[in-house]
Amino acid sequence: MFTVKLEEIPDEGLHLKWKEEPAALSSYLENLSRIDFDFRGPLDSEADITKAGKTILIKGRVKTVLQMSCVRCLKEFTYPLSSTFDLTLLHLKEASLSEEAELSEEDLESSFFEGGEIHVSEIACEQIFLEIPLQPLCQEDCKGLCPVCGKDRNASPCDCRKEGIESGFAALRKLKLDS
């Protein structure tokens, strides 16, 4: 994983451009509890890093291709992803850690780092995680699998009887209200 030492960042800032192959990212991904995707292409990253006092400002871009499973039909599909980001990093020692504090908007948009280096590869991976859809679909109009026979309804329709699923609120239709 790619890191930058704070003393390596000149006053005018630092421009970085790097590429990480999927195999190199696998060790980082293994530490995470649940991963629903694989990298199918390299992770191309770019970042402009500047110091602003004790704060580090990062403006960057990430681009890759992911292999994901559709939540409706379970087919594997490729998902090209490209994103830009702005990140403010504060040194953990400098941050106030009082028991209760009201957070400002700036606090909510900031991240923290420890020690004398910044793990820019991890930051790039985090940006990828933030861009992954919660419900990945192979196509927007995916019909999914038949709940009766399990046939992929995108490939061909099935002849299963379409029984309406009764909602728990159906009993309310019988309720008569006095007006």
Q: What is the pLDDT of residue 33?
A: 55
Q: What is the pLDDT of residue 154?
A: 94
Q: Using CA atoms, how far apart are residues 58 and 51, in angstroms rounded to an integer?
A: 9
The β-bridge relationship of strands 110-113 and 76-91 is: parallel
Q: What is the pLDDT of residue 82?
A: 96
The pLDDT mean for the chain works out to 85
- In order along its 179 residues, the chain shows pLDDT tens digits of 788 888 888 989 999 999 999 888 776 777 765 677 888 999 999 999 999 888 899 999 999 999 999 999 999 999 999 999 999 988 776 555 556 667 677 666 678 777 888 889 889 988 998 899 999 999 999 999 998 888 999 999 888 876 666 677 877 877 888 76
Q: What is the pLDDT of residue 158?
A: 85
Q: Using CA atoms, how far apart are residues 89 and 111, in angstroms rounded to an integer?
A: 5
What H or E segment, with its residue span, contains residue 14?
A: strand 14-20
Q: What is the pLDDT of residue 163?
A: 64
Residue ranges covered by each domain of the chain: 3-145
Degrees (nearest 5) of the Cα angle 56, 62, 66?
A: 140
Q: What is the pLDDT of residue 111?
A: 80
**CB neighbours of residue 123 within 10 Å:** 21
* pTM score, whole prediction: 0.75
Measured CA to CA in angstroms, residue 73 lies from 36, 115, 135, 141, 144 at distances of 15, 46, 12, 11, 4
The contacts of residue 151 (CB under 8 Å, 6+ apart) are 145, 158
pLDDT in tens, 93-140: 655 555 666 767 766 667 877 788 888 988 998 899 889 999 999 999
